């Protein structure tokens, strides 16, 4: 079975097996990770290990903090605004798809949102040209969504924004490719794509943004407060699982290595789509996502049958996001090349069978 879900997503078998081994008794402690007090030495070892391995993976600069929070990226759409908008309460947002639109709608509750560029009129099929962005010099930050999970669009170059810090929702491409954290004031990501199961939201923040929160920000979601010391019980099991994922990723050779593999997998899928009239990808080739490959069947009436037959062939959760429909193959770190090869074999034989059926029935 290969699970192409956009999230919660497939996890590496090795990671699940390690979690299974530890389930009843973590490293001879006599208890499960789920039962540990969060202030215990054992849990601190788990949490510090996860922090250190993640710092290594992303080359964390010294003047940043990683926060292991909760709420999902959707909560942080609001929390980013509440923590960073400051006194002026103005921020710039780039609208590139379903998730950036959600981020905009949440931020609007707390201040003035300038939509500095949007691809809405063309069905979110590209990243707007940076040279045309209408940056407001009084904005507290400029927000982008590095990968639009529902629309299959991705920033392949991170723009150099001045003077406001760049803030990004990196939920669906976090750890799938190299990212220079120093280009950002803050990034945030839900865990359930490449970090582990749900329940954990990672925020990585530059130290000079830690004390701008509005008074109404709850203590548990005040980034500055959480950076000083843990305010409440963290999502301990999710942090443990994330730690297993980080050490698995280091064993794979780190992000540079996995990124090369992700590009090979994505390109081979796009090649099949582009070379067969049976399939169609409407995203501008230069802006196509390496993480979520969104496409259609040129005859959309066949989509349901395609999905049913894919499932019978062990290829699960290929249905596109509700707002867009069509097909979506999520190509996260845990998807092996064999999974993508199986999908390609299936797509080619499905297309050829259907074309023959059409031909023989006239
Ligand atoms: C890019 C992006 N941002 C935000 C979210 C919302 O995440 P959550 O449901 O964990 O709050 C998702 C969910 O898939 C996403 O893909």
| Residues marked as catalytic | 99, 169, 193
For residue 1, pLDDT beyond 60: yes
Q: How many CB atoms lie within 10 A of CB 358?
A: 10
State the closest ligand 1 atom to the C-alpha of 147, by its place in the atom list counted from 1. 1
**pLDDT value, residue 360:** 59
Does residue 357 carry a pLDDT above 90? no
> Distance between alpha carbon 113 and the CA centroid of its chain, in Å?
23
Cβ(195) to ligand 1 under 6 A?
Answer: no
| pLDDT tens-digit readout, 314-335 | 999 999 998 888 999 999 999 9
What is the band of 359 on the pLDDT scale with cuts at 50, 70, 90? Answer: low
CATH for 254-360, among 3.40.640.10, 3.90.1150.10, 3.30.1180.10, 3.40.50.10490? 3.90.1150.10
Ligand 1 close to Cβ of residue 149 (< 6 A)? yes
Separation CA 144–CA 157 (nearest Å)? 12
- The answer to whether residue 151 scores a pLDDT higher than 70 is yes
What would the mean pLDDT of 14-42 be, rounded to a whole number?
98
DSSP-derived 3-state class of residue 204: strand
Q: What is the pLDDT of residue 361?
A: 52
pLDDT of residue 87: 85
- As beta bridge partners, residue 315 has 2
Distance CA 139, CA 301 (A): 46
Backbone angles phi, psi at 77, to 5 degrees: -55, -45
Helix axes 236-251, 13-22, angle to 10 degrees: 130
**Share above pLDDT 90 across residues of the chain, in percent, rounded to a whole number:** 95
pLDDT at residue 43 greater than cutoff 90? yes
The residues, any chain, with a CB within 8 Å of residue 325's CB and separated by 6 or more, are: 296, 300, 303
Give the tens place of pLDDT for each residue, 250-274. 999 999 999 999 999 999 999 999 9
287 lines ligand 1 (CB under 6 A): no
Query: For residue 166, is pLDDT > 50?
Result: yes
Using 50, 70 and 90 to split pLDDT, how confident is the model at 342? very high
The more confident residue out of 357 and 317 is 317
Question: How high is the pLDDT of residue 324?
Answer: 86
* 254-360 matches 13-251 in CATH topology: no
Every domain of the chain and the residues it spans: 13-251, 254-360
166-177 burial: b if 16+ Cβ within 10 Å, else e: bbbbbbbbbbbb
End-to-end C-alpha distance for the chain, whole angstroms: 36
The residues near 350 (Cβ < 8 Å, ≥ 6 apart) are: 278, 306, 309, 310
* pLDDT band with cut points at 50, 70 and 90 for residue 362: very low
Question: Could you tell me which CATH number the domain at 13-251 has?
Answer: 3.40.640.10
Give residue 190 CA to ligand 1 midpoint distance, Å: 6
For residue 148, give the ligand 1 atom closest to its CA: 1
pLDDT digits (tens, 9 = 90+) for 173-216: 999 999 999 999 999 999 999 999 999 999 999 999 999 999 99
Average pLDDT, the chain: 96
Q: What distance in Å separates the CA atoms of residue 44 and residue 28, rounded to the nearest whole number?
A: 16
CB 72 near ligand 1, within 6 Å:
yes
Output the pLDDT for position 161.
84
* Listed residue (207, 214, 211, 210) closest to 111, CA to CA: 214
């Amino acid at each position: 079975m290969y699970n192409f879900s956009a999230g919660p997503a497939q996890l590496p078998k090795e990671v699940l097996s390690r979690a299974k081994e530890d389930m009843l008794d973590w490293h001879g402690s006599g208890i499960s990770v789920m039962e540990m007090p969060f202030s215990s030495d054992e849990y601190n070892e788990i949490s510090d290990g996860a922090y250190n391995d993640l710092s290594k993976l992303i080359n964390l600069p010294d003047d940043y903090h990683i926060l292991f929070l909760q709420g999902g990226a959707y909560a942080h759409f609001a929390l980013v605004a509440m923590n960073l908008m400051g006194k002026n309460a103005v921020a710039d947002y780039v609208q590139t798809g379903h998730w950036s639109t959600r981020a905009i709608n949440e931020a609007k509750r707390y201040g003035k949102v300038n939509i500095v560029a949007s691809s809405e009129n063309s069905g979110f099929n590209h990243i707007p040209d940076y040279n045309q962005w209408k940056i407001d010099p009084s904005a507290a930050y400029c927000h982008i969504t590095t990968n639009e999970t529902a629309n299959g669009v991705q920033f392949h170059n991170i723009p150099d924004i001045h003077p406001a810090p760049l803030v990004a929702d990196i939920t669906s491409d976090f750890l799938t490719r190299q990212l220079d954290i120093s280009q950002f004031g803050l990034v945030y990501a839900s865990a359930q794509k490449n970090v582990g199961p749900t329940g954990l939201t990672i925020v990585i923040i530059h130290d000079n943004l830690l004390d701008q929160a509005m008074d109404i920000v709850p203590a548990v979601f005040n980034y500055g407060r959480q950076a000083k010391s843990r305010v409440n019980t963290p999502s301990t099991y999710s942090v443990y699982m994330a730690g297993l994922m980080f050490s698995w990723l280091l064993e794979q050779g780190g992000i540079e290595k996995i990124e090369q593999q992700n590009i090979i997998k994505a390109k081979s899928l796009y090649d099949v789509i582009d070379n067969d009239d049976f399939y169609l990808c409407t995203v501008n080739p230069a802006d196509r996502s390496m993480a979520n490959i969104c496409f259609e069947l040129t005859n959309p009436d066949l989509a349901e049958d395609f999905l049913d037959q894919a499932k019978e062939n062990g290829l699960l959760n290929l249905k596109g996001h509700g707002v867009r429909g069509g097909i979506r193959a999520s190509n996260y770190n845990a998807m092996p090349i064999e999974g993508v090869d199986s999908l390609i074999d299936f797509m080619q034989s499905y297309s050829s069978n259907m074309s023959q059926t059409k031909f023989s029935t006239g």
